A and B are shown apart, each in its own frame.
Chain A
Amino acid sequence: MYYPYLRGKQFELLSLREFADIYSDNCKVFPVIEPVKSSFNSMKIALKKLQEKKISYALVLNPQVGELIRNTRTIEMELEQLLEDRDSWIPAYIVNSNSKGIIRQIQIMDYHHVMLICQDSVDSNNPDFEELIGLAVVTKVLINNDNRSLKRKLQKLGKEVIRLDDNFKPQKKNSDYVDIPEEKFTEEHRYYDIEDHYQGLGDYTVLTSDFLEGGRLPYAVAIHLTYEKNSDEIWVRHFVSDTNDDNTNIQGKFGEAAEKAVEFFERIPFSNDSIAELTGYYRNGQYPGLGVLKKISIKNHLELMNSIIS
Chain B
Amino acid sequence: MRSYASIFSSTSFARLLKNEDFDFINKKIERYDSNKIGKNFTTYSEYIRYAYNSLKKDYRCEYIYKNELINEILLKKYGTENTVVINEFKVGNSVADMVLFNGTSKAFEIKTELDSEKRLSGQLNDYTKIFKECYVVTHESLIEKYLETDVKIGVIAIISHNNSIKMEEVRKATVSEEIDALVLIRSLRTQEYKNIITAYFGQLPYVSNFQMFDECARLMKQIPSVELNRLFIGELKRRTSNTQLLQSFYKELRQLCLSLKINQKDYLELSLKLSQPIKL
Which residues of A are in contact with B by a Cβ distance under 8 Å?
246, 248-249, 251-252, 254-256, 285-287
B186: interface (CB < 8 Å): yes
B211 CB to nearest chain A CB (Å): 7
Say whether A255 contacts B186, CB under 8 Å: no
B210–A287 CB distance below 8 A: yes
Does B185 belong to the interface (CB within 8 Å)? Answer: yes
Residues from chain A with Cβ under 8 Å of B210 in the complex: 251-252, 254-256, 285, 287
Instruction: List 25 A–B pairs whose Cβ atoms lie within 8 Å, in order of A's numbering.
Output: A246-B186, A248-B185, A248-B186, A248-B213, A249-B213, A249-B214, A251-B190, A251-B209, A251-B210, A251-B212, A251-B213, A252-B210, A252-B212, A252-B214, A254-B210, A255-B209, A255-B210, A255-B211, A256-B210, A285-B208, A285-B209, A285-B210, A286-B209, A287-B209, A287-B210
A38 to chain B, nearest CB (A): 11
Chain A residues whose CB sits within 8 angstroms of the CB of B213 once the complex forms: 248-249, 251-252
Chain B residues, CB < 8 A from A255: 208-211
Quick one: CB contact mask for B186-214 with A, threshold 8 Å, 1 for yes? 10001000000000000000001111111
Q: How far is the CA of A252 from the CA of B211 in the complex (A)?
A: 6
| Residues from chain B with Cβ under 8 Å of A286 in the complex | 209
Closest residue of chain A to B210, judged by CB? A255
Q: Which residue of B lies closest to A253 (CB)?
A: B210
A163 to chain B, nearest CB (A): 40
Interface residues on B, range: 10 to 19
Residues of B within 8 A of A256 (CB): 210
Nearest 8 pairs of A and B residues by beta carbon: A255-B210, A285-B208, A249-B213, A248-B186, A251-B209, A285-B209, A252-B213, A252-B210
Q: How far is the CA of A248 from the CA of B217 in the complex (A)?
A: 12
Question: In the assembled complex, which residues on chain A have CB atoms less than 8 Å from the CB atom of B186?
Answer: 246, 248
Residues in chain B near residue A249, CB distance under 8 A: 213-214
CA–CA, A248 and B212, complex, Å: 12
- What is the CB-to-nearest-CB distance from A245 to chain B, in angstroms, rounded to a whole number? 10
Beyond the given A248-B213, A249-B214, please list 5 additional residue pairs across the A-B interface where CB-CB is below 8 A. A251-B209, A252-B210, A252-B211, A252-B214, A287-B210
Write the nearest CB–CB distance from A138 to chain B, whole angstroms: 36
Determine which residue in A248, A254, A287 has the highest number of CB atoms from chain B within 10 A of its CB, and name it: A248
* Cα–Cα distance between A248 and B188 once the two chains are bound (Å): 9
Chain A residues near B185 (CB-CB < 8 A): 248
Q: Give the nearest-CB partner of A251 in chain B.
A: B209
**In the complex, which residues of chain B have a beta carbon less than 8 angstroms from the beta carbon of A252?**
210-214
Assembled-state Cα–Cα distance A285/B207 (Å): 9
Name the interface residues of B170-191: CB closer than 8 Å to any CB of A: 185-186, 190
Q: Which residues of A contact B212 (CB under 8 A)?
A: 251-252
B11 to chain A, nearest CB (A): 13
Given the complex, which residues of B lie within 8 Å of A251, measured CB to CB?
A: 190, 209-210, 212-213
Most central of B190, B211, B213 by chain A CB within 10 Å: B213
Chain B proximity of A37: nearest CB distance (Å): 14
A287 to B211, CA, bound (A): 11
B-side contacts of A285, CB under 8 Å: 208-210
Tell me how far the C-beta of B183 lies from the nearest C-beta in chain A, rounded to whole angstroms. Answer: 10
Which interface residue of B209, B212, B214 has the most chain A CB atoms within 10 A?
Answer: B209
> What residue in chain B is nearest A259 (Cβ atoms)?
B210
Which residues on the B side are within 8 Å of A248 (C-beta)? 185-186, 213
Q: How far is the CA of A256 from the CA of B213 in the complex (A)?
A: 13
Query: Chain B nearest CB: distance from A299 CB in Å?
Result: 23
* Minimum C-beta distance from A286 to chain B (A): 6
CB B207 to nearest CB in A, in angstroms, measures: 8
Task: Give the complex CA separation of A94 and B9 in angstroms.
Answer: 35
- B146: min CB distance to chain A, Å: 28
Chain B: minimal CB distance from A43 (Å): 20
* Alpha-carbon distance between A254 and B190 when the two chains are bound, in angstroms: 14
**Considering only CB atoms, which chain A residue lies closest to B216 in the complex?**
A249
Which residue on chain B has the smallest CB distance to residue A282? B210
Measured between beta carbons, the chain B residues less than 8 angstroms from A246 are: 186
Q: What are the residues of chain B within 8 A of A254 when measuring CB–CB? A: 210
* Least Cβ–Cβ distance between A295 and chain B, in angstroms: 19
- What CA separation (Å) do A59 and B256 show in the bound complex? 40
Residue on B with the closest CB to A243?
B214
CB distance from B223 to the nearest CB of A (A): 18
| B208 contact set on A, CB distance < 8 A | 255, 285
Nearest Cβ in chain B — how far from A244, in angstroms? 14
A239 to chain B, nearest CB (A): 14
Q: Chain A nearest CB: distance from B179 CB in Å? A: 17
Give the distance to chain B from A241, nearest Cβ to Cβ, in Å. Answer: 10
A242 → B minimal CB distance (Å): 12
Residues of B within 8 A of A287 (CB): 209-210
